[in-house]
Amino acid sequence: MTAADQIRETISKNDVVLFMKGTKMMPQCGFSSRVAGVLNYMGVDYADVNVLADPEIRQGIKDFSDWPTIPQLYVKGEFVGGCDIVTEMALSAELDALFDQNGISYSKEAADRIREANNG
């Protein structure tokens, strides 16, 4: 199975997938930590893929999405973005809307607290 096949299978079998450096419980870079932190805080159930564990997946995800950096968030098979995009979406409530549109369970209260903490 090629890296692209593995990636395609992972994003088709999981509603939310974060390709990251490290794991959701032990991120190994600041950008991955920020996105995992947002998802964890919002109570989103997601699959984490540690790209450091597999060099083919690490390069393969960049080729697959045509996006040069890690982390990369996928929702219902669609590429959402990296750290800056996910952070902006969380602060603008676009992430809430994306989860709502796709039937992804999350804590609306936690999402509101993220915005309050960053607007105050």
Known binding site for [2Fe-2S] cluster: residues? Answer: 29
Rounded-to-integer distance, Cα 57 and Cα 49, Å: 9
| Known binding-site residue numbers | 29
The CA dihedral of 38, 48, 75, 34, to the nearest 10 degrees, is 20
List the structure tokens of 41.
Answer: 């805080």
Nearest to 74 by CA among 61, 63, 84: 61
List the structure tokens of 111.
Answer: 């999402």
| Interstrand relation of 16-20 and 47-50 (parallel, antiparallel or unpaired) | parallel
